[in-house]
């Protein structure tokens, strides 16, 4: 398996980080690379010990001891967030940043927090990513190679990813961010989008990976979709209803309540599959659909409601569901591939 892309079908917050960590451990991946916009989206993984891992800059593949982690050149870097994750998780000897990454400055963050359009109309996280991306497009942003404290971690991530992927025994996991339906140039919901695209093709571009090395596209589908910020959400339920059912969620970056839907919109899912070309599906947050499956790790626990959704997702995407996420812990997974 030379290279696999992990991409979100809908509006994000679906468990891409957990999936990346699970696959890195299962296959002892050599390299995990972060694609996507930057630090405006986070991943959280709960270990068997109960420890909660949160990350915004680095991919969670480092939870496998033998996996190195990197940030692709198309991803924005916040040196403060990067340094914090290195220190918290002891990743100084396993992390690489591409020197061509644009840098989020403190001024970018301040400008976004003062931008009423982004804060109130769009519902942005206001973490400086949009302003930094705009400055990069205008060729006036700093790059990682301009920041002295990043110098020990700089390396050509595109070259490394292609080198590992060219090895028949190697595996590169590319962890995308946010979700396909938040894509700047592909969503119907503009301006309620992020500042770039969040598809398979954009993830390859963020990393600089030759498409010929791509072996798998693992598309994450959240059993009960969520959305943070403004924009339409089909089949949305109220926050009170989500709390009553015990399925309320809160954002990793902002702590804001995630708006919750009670079903997957089939037309939206078909469109996401058309854009991403999934070879297989990970169906996540199955315990929000059926509480009885929570924490289960064997296929005998799959009940009729989850089986119904599996069938609907496979019909809409044309790809098999091979992973079921059943709870918050890293190993709360039913792996239908074994």
- Residues 6 or more apart whose Cβ sits within 8 Å of residue 292: 301, 303
Instruction: With H, G, I as helix, E, B as strand and everything else as coil, classify residue 30.
Output: coil
Using an 8 Å Cβ cutoff, are 268 and 236 in contact?
no
Is residue 98 part of the annotated active site? The answer reads no
Using an 8 Å Cβ cutoff, are 207 and 74 in contact?
yes
Instruction: With H, G, I as helix, E, B as strand and everything else as coil, classify residue 130.
Output: helix
Count of beta carbons in the 10 Å neighbourhood of residue 123 = 18
CA distance 61 to 25: 8
Instruction: With H, G, I as helix, E, B as strand and everything else as coil, classify residue 178.
Output: coil
Residue list, annotated binding site: 13, 42, 125, 139, 178, 194, 252-258, 285-287, 325-327
Task: Classify residue 100 by its DSSP letter.
Answer: T
- Residue of 13, 78, 135, 290 marked catalytic: 13
CA distance 119 to 112: 8
Using an 8 Å Cβ cutoff, are 275 and 186 in contact?
yes
Interaxial angle between packed helices 200-207 and 157-166, expressed in degrees from 0 to 180 and rounded to the nearest 10: 110
Using an 8 Å Cβ cutoff, are 42 and 258 in contact?
no
Using an 8 Å Cβ cutoff, are 32 and 3 in contact?
no
Residue list, annotated binding site for IMP: 125, 139, 178, 194, 256
CA distance 291 to 280: 24
Residue list, annotated binding site for substrate: 252-258
Instruction: With H, G, I as helix, E, B as strand and everything else as coil, classify residue 171.
Output: coil
For residue 18, give the H/E element and its range: helix 16-27
Instruction: With H, G, I as helix, E, B as strand and everything else as coil, classify residue 231.
Output: coil
Catalytic residues: 13
């Amino acid at each position: 398996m030379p290279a696999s892309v992990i991409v979100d079908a809908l509006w994000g917050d679906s468990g891409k980080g957990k999936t990346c960590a699970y696959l890195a451990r299962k296959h002892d991946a050599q390299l995990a690379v972060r694609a996507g916009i930057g630090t405006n989206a986070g991943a959280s993984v709960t270990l068997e010990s109960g420890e909660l891992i949160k990350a915004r800059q680095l991919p969670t593949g480092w939870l496998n001891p033998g996996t190195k982690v990197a940030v692709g050149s198309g991803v924005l870097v916040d040196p403060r967030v990067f340094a914090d994750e290195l220190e918290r998780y002891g990743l100084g000897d396993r992390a690489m940043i591409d020197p061509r990454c644009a840098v989020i400055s403190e001024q970018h963050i301040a400008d976004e927090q003062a931008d009423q359009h982004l804060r109130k109309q769009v519902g942005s996280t206001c973490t400086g990513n949009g302003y930094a991306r705009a400055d990069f497009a205008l060729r006036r942003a700093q790059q990682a190679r301009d920041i002295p404290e990043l110098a020990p971690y700089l390396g050509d991530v595109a070259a490394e990813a292609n080198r590992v992927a060219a090895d028949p025994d190697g595996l590169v996991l590319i962890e995308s961010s946010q979700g396909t339906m938040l894509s700047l140039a592909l969503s119907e919901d503009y301006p309620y989008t992020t500042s770039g695209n969040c598809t398979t093709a954009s993830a390859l571009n963020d990393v600089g990976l030759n498409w010929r090395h791509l072996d798998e596209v693992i598309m994450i589908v959240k059993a009960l979709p969520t959305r943070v910020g403004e924009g339409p959400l089909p089949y949305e339920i109220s926050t009170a209803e989500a709390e009553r059912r015990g399925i309320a969620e809160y954002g990793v970056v902002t702590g804001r309540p995630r708006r919750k839907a009670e079903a997957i919109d089939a037309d939206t899912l078909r469109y996401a599959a058309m854009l991403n070309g999934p070879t297989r599906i990970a169906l996540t947050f199955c315990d929000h659909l059926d509480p009885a499956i929570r924490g289960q790790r064997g296929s005998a626990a799959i009940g009729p409601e989850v089986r119904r959704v599996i069938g609907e997702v496979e019909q809409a995407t044309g790809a098999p569901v091979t992973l079921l996420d059943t709870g918050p812990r890293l190993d709360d997974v039913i792996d239908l591939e074994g």
